[in-house]
Amino acid sequence: METDIQYAGEFFLKELKVYTSSGKVLDLTDMVQGIEIWEDIFSTSLSGNIVFLDLSNLTKNGPIIGQEHMSLKLGTPGLKDFDIDAVFNINKVNSKQSSNPNSEVISLSFVSPELMRNERTRVSKSYTDTISNIVTDVLRDKRYINSTKRLFIENTSGIRKVISPNNHPFTFLCTLATESKSISGSQNFVLFENTKGIHFKSIDSILNTDTIADYFIGDVGLNSKENPKVRDIKKDYERPINSTITQNTDLLLNTMGGMLSSKIIKYNIYNKSYETSHYNYFEDFEGNNTIDSNPVYNDNPIDVSGNSISSFSDAKIHLHPVTSNGANDIQHTNSTNSYSYAPAGTANKFLQRQSKLLELSAGISATLQINGNNTVACGETINVQFPTVGGQGEGDDVDGYYSGKFLITKLKHQFDLPNKRHIIQMTVTKDSISTKLPIDGESIEPFGGAGDKIEITT
């Protein structure tokens, strides 16, 4: 963090202007009370709201009716390369509250203009290209999303021939995400937007990136060692304001959702054959790209038959049609009447993708509130160190189960103008743990009572 920041969470609002449907431009820069921007790795667009103090009856003189554009310029001192400079669509006037006869507090909701264009247009077209090129084309095409934002597109392998049957652009692209395969072989793609741009990436590549920040739970670190009256800004950024482990793994939910075990029947509609594949959380764990090296569950037997919690593939069953001879898509031929297009990769990694997405949405997660800066965004990874309760760790004061690398899956920027402070509320998730779970014996389900004695009453 650069030295010209005076305190952790400092920010500046350079501009907030509203362009009304009547053609007027309203400068709200000095009237804004608060701004929130929401990011989500499973959401295609940004959203948020602003609150401002109306002293000039702008909502009527504008008028502001929920059909406006808004230009927003926000920055963190010393981090010019990460300034937020974006245009949004105001889509709703949430509320108006009169604090006195001379003023009103107005709340407005806004979304990325790409989301509005998505809802207004449809793609009815065939493409012959790599999926990464198709995604770039749809995002840049003036007929569809027409985005000028930075794109972070991971290259995919194989030339595909695909048709969009009158779908909204984002619906089409999210479908392609399930069929995509990166050059390195990953197939867990997601499409999302953060303040840095629009991303079409595999989760594996995201998890492989270096962490952008370190956070230490419980580390007070408020003042510098040289001068106790001077705040240590670096420490203030590293110490979360508060933190909560919000969700542990839910065995019932993960069993029902197919995270632990599932089955897919791939029916080849060309040669009328079928193939059954199974997913086993423990058996397939080594082949999956995970944050840490150990699963979050124990694989010890749970019944007298020796089954573990991942032995029941009938818990989640899928039927999926395929048109492939193994190497090619046999729905389409090229100009020489030969098969040369790559098949959809959906069925091959469907079960593993299903498990991975459930791990990230319903796995080990925590909520952190930190002093904000514009370098932090969803889809990034951070390192979080949780202390052991009462310092009772075995040879270490760091919790080996929860500490380590996390993926930011949800994030909310909160810009408090009266207090001039930027706070970030984020949800971070991990799909594995660094310390192996202990096994002290079998965990066979206990049965009590009267054994095989059966009583029937009438």
Confidence of residue 230 (pLDDT cuts 50, 70, 90): low
One-letter amino acid at 299 equals D
Question: Which class for 419: exposed (0-12), middle (13-18), buried (19 or more C-beta within 10 A)?
Answer: exposed
Looking at the predicted structure, is the pLDDT value of residue 114 above 50?
yes
What pLDDT, on a 0 to 100 scale, did the predictor assign at position 139? 98
Percent of the chain with pLDDT over 90: 61
What pLDDT, on a 0 to 100 scale, did the predictor assign at position 245? 85
Number of neighbours of residue 263 by Cβ within 10 angstroms: 18
Strand ranges in 41-147 using DSSP code E only, listed in sequence order: 47-54, 68-75, 84-100, 103-111, 123-129
Rounded to two decimals, the pTM is: 0.89
Cα–Cα distance, 259 to 249 (Å, whole number):
11
CATH of domain 117-204: 3.55.50.20
Confidence of residue 430 (pLDDT cuts 50, 70, 90): very high
Looking at the predicted structure, is the pLDDT value of residue 223 above 70?
no
The alpha helices in 399-448, defined as continuous H runs, are: none
Looking at the predicted structure, is the pLDDT value of residue 221 above 50?
no
One-letter amino acid at 356 equals K
157-180: pLDDT as tens digits: 989 889 999 999 999 999 999 989
| Residue, of 367 and 339, whose pLDDT is higher | 367
Question: Which class for 106: exposed (0-12), middle (13-18), buried (19 or more C-beta within 10 A)?
Answer: buried
Cα–Cα distance, 95 to 305 (Å, whole number):
61
3-state secondary structure of 308: coil
Instruction: List Cβ neighbours of 57 (8 Å cut-off, separation of 6 or more).
Output: 104
User: Domain residues of the chain, as ranges?
Assistant: 117-204, 212-247+361-412, 251-357
One-letter amino acid at 105 equals V
